[in-house]
Structure 1
Amino acid sequence: MADMKPDQPVVLLLHGFAGFSVMNRPLGRMLRRAGYRPVELGYDSWGRSLHEICEFLRPRIADYDRPGAPPLHIVAHSMGGLVARALIHRQRPKALGRVVMLGTPNGGSEIADFLNQHGLLRPILGQAAGALVTRRPAAVDGLFGPIDYSLGIIAGDRPILPIAAARLLPRPSDGKVSVASTRLPEAADHIVLPLSHGMLPYHATAHRQIRHFLTHGRFAQTSS
């Protein structure tokens, strides 16, 4: 990114469970056009615990968190929002700006509960189980600090398979995470879009709301 100016605000992009950094490429292109410097961060969501993920990412974030650096924002999809919370609590960036979560299971996911309760299915979650279930171990809950920063949360309520989702998730949901689970009372704003979990990082409507929150600290339409 040699064409980027040193005073441009940075946006760290964190993917969700079983994701890869390249999955944030469309989001990064949108942010670059809007004048931000996007940084796509990848991590092993299956093989590393939340604590280990934070230890892995900390030195990579330090490159963008030096004295006098421009604001450092975070946009995180799904489990990436939990990673963001833990990172901020462990070592808060000096120039932390605003944080946007997309479909993050702040209260856990009943789908993760279902997988975790069945021995043959439990390995699907790997080391992420403790972070994704609705009743988290105390050690995992201890990784999350107070929400004393500007946080906007985008939830979806259009699951791709609504009947299957309804059997495991409280309505409304995005097919993987219920709208209720995304909420945090300390958040500056919360909005629900007619999108599925997988579409939240890609849809133009979500992109418009992300840009608006990073600029204004609130979403472009009435909070839900």
Structure 2
Amino acid sequence: MIARILKWLMLLQVLAVLGLAYLAMHAWGIASPLLAVLLALAILLAVRALIVVRNFWESRRLGSPVPPEYQLGAMGAARLFFGELRATLWTSSWGMLRPRLHAADTITGQGLPVLLVHGYVCNGGYWTKLSLQLARAGIVHKAIDLEPINGDIEAFVPQVEQAITELCTRTGSDRVILVAHSMGGLVARAWLRHYGAARVARIVTIGTPHHGTALANLAAGANARQMSRIDGAPSGWLAQLAASETPETRALMTSMYSHHDNIVAPQASAQLPGARNIAFCGIGHVALASDARVLRQLLEEITIKNEVVQPPSAPHFA
């Protein structure tokens, strides 16, 4: 569904560019068609950039303090912004329009199959770069497309269960690793609440608003309401989810997050007590699953030789 929506949005953007180019030539006195089109593209890019700027502004206004060792200078802030803009443009204008994963036929070493669970208003195309890394490592993986895009998170749970069953049947493995971005991490935790831990070795969440995000208050859908924060407190659904978990289930989880996330606000909401927490800096929300530092850490979490669950730890910063 999201791929179809994005294709329509791409068509609208193309029409907008053509319309602006026509206006530039006939109302603004630009004689060159090439210059008119370039100007129209620049206007479109500026609008997309302003959306990213707004998200950064809101997330900082509503965000948690950045520890001194993670604060950015001017160049670091510029890299953060342009990295997130690039990731957003690529994901929404190409990656999710043609969601394709890279194939891996065998599982090397002690690697387990991996199920990739995307976030809010995304699809499996979000995982293109991680998929390439997993394929190179010989790790079988599958991405799920959660629908409807604005549905209740609880309604996504049977879809995850079906995908896990298919992945286990395909590989002959009795367990999988769940890797989930943003809302997908909440979907993974909801699945764990319903089906238990027998078939999951680890759950790795990336940029997940475990305690809600204030920016979800501006979004639409039942899932957005479930991810919201009202008066600084997580939604009732999030509170119930947390209350259902034990130290043993939390010990299965790793939460990776950025102190400069532009969607999860406060950013500390991505920390999960009792789980292994790994912090990054200078990375935006969409860019998390394509950043080289995050990808390296993800592969380490996925391919870790010792499959014995580690005990809960204090937040670990990397």
Q: Structure 1's 140 and 45: CA in aligned 2 closer, same or farther, altered over 3 A? A: farther
Q: Aligned partners of 1:183, 1:47: CA distance in 2, in Å?
A: 25
Residues 101-120 of structure 1 mapped to structure 2, 5 A cutoff: 101-113=205-217, 115=218
| Structure 2 alignment gaps of length 5 or more | 1-101
Q: Aligned partners of 1:110, 1:47: CA distance in 2, in Å?
A: 17
Q: Does 1:153 align with 2:255?
A: yes
Deviation string for 1:121-162 (max 9, x for gaps)?
xxx42121232102455455434542344221111133xxxx
Shift of 1:98: 1.6
Q: Aligned partners of 2:136, 2:174: CA distance in 1, in Å?
A: 17
Q: Does 1:86 align with 2:190?
A: yes
Counterpart position of 1:10: 113
Shift of 1:195: 0.5
Q: Aligned partners of 2:103, 2:289: CA distance in 1, in Å?
A: 25
Counterpart position of 2:180: 76
Q: Aligned partners of 1:201, 1:35: CA distance in 2, in Å?
A: 19
Shift of 1:61: 1.9
Q: Aligned partners of 1:93, 1:21: CA distance in 2, in Å?
A: 24
Q: Is the 8 A contact 1:11 1:39 kept in 2?
A: yes
Pairs aligned (count) = 197
State which of 130, 133, 142 in structure 1 corresponds to 2:240. 142
Q: Aligned partners of 2:238, 2:210: CA distance in 1, in Å?
A: 12
Shift of 1:179: 2.5
Q: Is the 8 A contact 2:178 2:203 kept in 1?
A: yes
Q: Structure 1's 190 and 44: CA in aligned 2 closer, same or farther, altered over 3 A? A: same
What is the DSSP-based 3-state SS (H/G/I as helix, E as strand, rest coil) of the residue aligned with 1:105?
coil
Q: Aligned partners of 2:116, 2:107: CA distance in 1, in Å?
A: 18
Q: CA RMSD in A?
A: 2.7
Q: Aligned partners of 1:45, 1:99: CA distance in 2, in Å?
A: 23
TM-score (norm 1): 0.76
Counterpart position of 2:228: 133
Shift of 1:104: 0.3
Shift of 1:188: 2.3
Q: Is the 8 A contact 1:111 1:176 kept in 2?
A: yes
State which of 93, 96, 105 in structure 1 corresponds to 2:200. 96
Shift of 1:37: 1.0
Shift of 1:93: 5.2
Q: Is the 8 A contact 1:130 1:140 kept in 2?
A: no
Residues 153-172 of structure 1 mapped to structure 2, 5 A cutoff: 153-158=255-260
Higher helix share: 2
TM-score (norm 2): 0.55
Larger Rg: 2
Shift of 1:87: 0.8
Q: Give the residue type in structure 2 aligned to 1:58.
A: E
What is the DSSP-based 3-state SS (H/G/I as helix, E as strand, rest coil) of the residue aligned with 1:99?
strand
Q: Aligned partners of 1:34, 1:43: CA distance in 2, in Å?
A: 26
Q: Aligned partners of 1:64, 1:191: CA distance in 2, in Å?
A: 30
Shift of 1:212: 1.3
